């Protein structure tokens, strides 16, 4: 019996652009697991076409990566987060199985509470679905974030290829400048077992049946059909006219097959899979960001999701991009296979640590969110001193005042630093220390309009011996710890040398 054909598909009437990409930003974890380390551990790598995979730090997840990409996209577009009218997020690996990511994303960026939001998940089409939803809502400017960090059994093709990364784009109305969205189509067909995760609390990660011919057909047929529907819609669009194909990339092999099937040279595929691994829902938009960065005039963007279905969008023109994560694998910090498993939490002690010296109630934590998320300090109206966090009496003049809210700059200077070993970590940080090893805690000085204030901050992505007084750091959004199942987020200090294009 032949495989089922894709359904009839759907195309929106978008021969003329109705939205533009004003800017984009990308982010990937600094550490990489090279293919050679996987081969050394298992005798071979089962991930086709992947030289290295990005491995998140113990305090990174799709939200923290998404915030990093979003901040870069907003800077590239010249848009302030307070002006956003729309927010969309796409991922298959949310930090919690049930909780909306959009309120935390908005709080971390300082977006308005009444911004229109859309969440897409449960399929690697989530990134393109989030983009389409934000465009359809026409609430501009809109921020679209796609971030993913798939997991799978260690000795599987999916486990060998599991990577991580994030991308964000800012959408504006058609009247502006930037890259125009000029076409849109989708189709679906029933191909069970091509990529799935089982329901229930014991999430073993991504699986697939591993039938090569079946998987290839399930990938290419919906893509070919969606591009065909797009061609019927977008002024008889010829796929060969696209200079780049940004497509979902479960591995380094399938995108080339899809390109040939729709009449595009495999060399035109724009994907981070070789350098970052399988980045799930983020892959198509990361490929688009790379094409925009390279000045590609026309990009075909295709989001594929298991099940199976595909979205196809056509993007004409270029837009500014901050951060480029697809190149420079050799410049990243390489991990051993064991270190990568530790960072991912694949190997850990059985018993959770007891205690919790920094336990803070959820209401108290929530009151401190502006300071923790966005470095909101207070300026004393009596003596102009900066106070962080803005609570209690002014430490300079001792007056009890209503502080003027001011935001500290993201860049600061280390005043003092100390190292903490896993055995000496407070209980709430013990899991993180177990996965990442020794970490540093620093007193960081921030200056604003001639005034200065110091704050204690954990240092991210750095060996304690590499951090010294006088070093420049940047405040980044990361996980702090988990209490009662709730993830607490805040800002940590990242050494300036580590804050490159990644």
> Which pLDDT tens digit goes with each residue over 276-326?
999 999 999 999 999 999 999 999 999 999 888 999 999 999 999 999 765
pLDDT tens profile 48-103: 999 999 999 999 999 999 999 999 999 999 999 999 999 999 999 999 999 999 99
Of 278, 233, 287, which is closest to residue 253 (Cα–Cα)? Answer: 278
CB-side neighbour CA atoms (13 Å) of 424: 8
For residue 219, give Cα distances in angstroms to 216, 253, 312. Answer: 5, 11, 13
Mean pLDDT across 195-210: 82
For residue 467, give Cα distances in angstroms to 295, 442, 444, 483. Answer: 38, 9, 12, 28
Of 163, 121, 162, 161, which is closest to residue 145 (Cα–Cα)? Answer: 121
For all residues of the chain together, what is the average pLDDT? 91
Of the listed ranges 21-25, 163-167, 183-187, 348-352, the one predicted with least confidence: 348-352
Mean pLDDT across 360-376: 92
Of 430, 247, 416, which is closest to residue 355 (Cα–Cα)? Answer: 430
pLDDT at 332: 73
CATH 3.40.47.10 region(s) of the chain?
13-344
User: Residue 3: pLDDT band by 50, 70, 90 thresholds?
Assistant: very low
Mean pLDDT across 121-132: 97
CB 120 within 8 A of CB 87: no
Radius of gyration over alpha carbons of the chain, in Å? Answer: 23
pLDDT at 253: 94
pLDDT at 430: 86
Percent of the chain with pLDDT over 90: 76
CB-side neighbour CA atoms (13 Å) of 192: 1
pLDDT at 351: 65
Q: Is 204 helix (H, G, I), strand (E, B) or coil?
A: coil
User: Residue 134: pLDDT band by 50, 70, 90 thresholds?
Assistant: very high
d(CA 4, CA 191): 8
pLDDT at 355: 58
pLDDT tens profile 254-287: 999 999 999 999 999 999 999 999 999 999 999 9
pLDDT tens profile 370-388: 999 999 999 999 999 999 9
pLDDT at 329: 40
pLDDT at 201: 57
CATH number of 13-344: 3.40.47.10
Phi, psi for residue 55 in degrees, rounded to 5:
-120, 115
Phi, psi for residue 444 in degrees, rounded to 5:
-110, 130
Q: In 184-314, which ranges are continuous DSSP H helix?
A: 212-233, 254-262, 273-276, 283-293
User: Where is pLDDT greater, at 451 or 236?
Assistant: 451
Residue 216, pLDDT > 80, answer yes
Of all helices (H) and strands (E), which one includes residue 42?
A: helix 35-42
pLDDT at 330: 42
pTM, entire model: 0.94
pLDDT at 181: 94
> Checking phi first, is residue 292 left (phi over 0); if not, alpha (psi -120 to 50) or beta?
alpha
CB 155 within 8 A of CB 127: no
Residue 476, pLDDT > 70, answer yes
pLDDT at 360: 81
pLDDT at 72: 97
pLDDT tens profile 177-186: 899 998 899 9
> Checking phi first, is residue 121 left (phi over 0); if not, alpha (psi -120 to 50) or beta?
beta
Angle in degrees, CA 242, 21, 9, rounded to 5: 55
pLDDT at 428: 84
Mean pLDDT across 474-500: 90
d(CA 210, CA 191): 13
Residue 43, pLDDT > 80, answer yes
């Amino acid at each position: 019996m032949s495989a089922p054909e894709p359904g009839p598909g759907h195309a929106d009437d978008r021969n003329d652009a109705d939205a533009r990409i004003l800017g984009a930003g990308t982010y990937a974890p600094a550490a990489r697991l090279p293919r050679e380390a996987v081969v050394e551990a298992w005798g071979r790598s089962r991930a086709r076409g992947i030289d290295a995979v990005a491995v998140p730090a113990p305090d990174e997840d799709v939200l923290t990566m998404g915030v990093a990409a979003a901040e870069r996209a907003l800077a590239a577009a010249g848009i302030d987060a307070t002006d956003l009218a729309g927010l969309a997020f796409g991922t298959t690996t949310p930090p919690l199985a049930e909780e909306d990511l959009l309120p935390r994303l908005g709080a971390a960026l300082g977006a308005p509470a009444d911004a229109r939001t859309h969440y897409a998940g449960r399929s690697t089409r989530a990134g393109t679905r989030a983009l389409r939803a934000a465009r359809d809502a026409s609430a501009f400017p809109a921020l679209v974030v796609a971030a993913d960090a798939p997991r799978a059994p260690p000795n599987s093709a999916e486990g060998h290829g599991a990577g991580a990364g994030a991308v964000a784009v800012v959408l504006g109305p058609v009247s502006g400048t930037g890259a125009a969205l000029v076409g849109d189509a989708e189709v679906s067909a029933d191909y069970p077992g091509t990529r799935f995760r089982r329901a229930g609390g014991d999430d073993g990660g991504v699986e697939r049946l591993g039938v090569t011919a079946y998987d290839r057909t399930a990938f290419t047929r919906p893509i070919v059909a969606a591009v065909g529907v797009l061609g019927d819609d977008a002024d008889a669009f010829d796929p060969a006219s696209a200079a780049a194909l940004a497509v979902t990339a479960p591995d380094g092999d399938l995108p080339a097959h899809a390109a040939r099937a729709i009449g595009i040279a495999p060399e035109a595929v724009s994907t981070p899979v070789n350098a970052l691994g399988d980045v799930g829902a983020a892959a198509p938009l990361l490929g688009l960001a790379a094409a925009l960065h390279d000045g590609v005039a026309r990009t075909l963007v295709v989001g594929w999701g298991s099940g199976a279905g595909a979205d196809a969008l056509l993007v004409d023109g270029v837009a500014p991009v901050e951060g480029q994560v697809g190149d420079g694998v050799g410049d990243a910090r390489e991990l051993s296979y064991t270190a990568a498993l530790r960072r991912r939490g694949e190997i850990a002690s059985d018993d959770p640590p007891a205690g919790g010296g920094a336990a803070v109630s959820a209401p108290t934590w929530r009151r401190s969110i502006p300071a923790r998320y966005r470095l909101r300090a207070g300026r004393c109206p009596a003596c102009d001193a900066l106070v962080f966090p803005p609570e209690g009496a002014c430490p300079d003049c001792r007056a009890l005042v209503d502080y003027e809210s001011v935001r500290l700059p993201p860049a600061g200077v280390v005043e003092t630093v100390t190292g903490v070993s896993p055995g000496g970590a407070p209980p709430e940080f013990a899991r993180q220390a177990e996965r990442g090893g020794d970490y540093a805690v620093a007193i960081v000085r921030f200056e604003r309009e001639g005034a200065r204030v110091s704050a204690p901050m954990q240092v991210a992505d750095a060996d304690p011996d590499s951090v010294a007084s006088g070093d420049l750091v940047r405040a980044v959004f990361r996980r702090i710890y988990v209490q009662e199942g709730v993830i607490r987020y805040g800002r940590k200090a990242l050494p300036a040398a580590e804050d490159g294009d990644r």
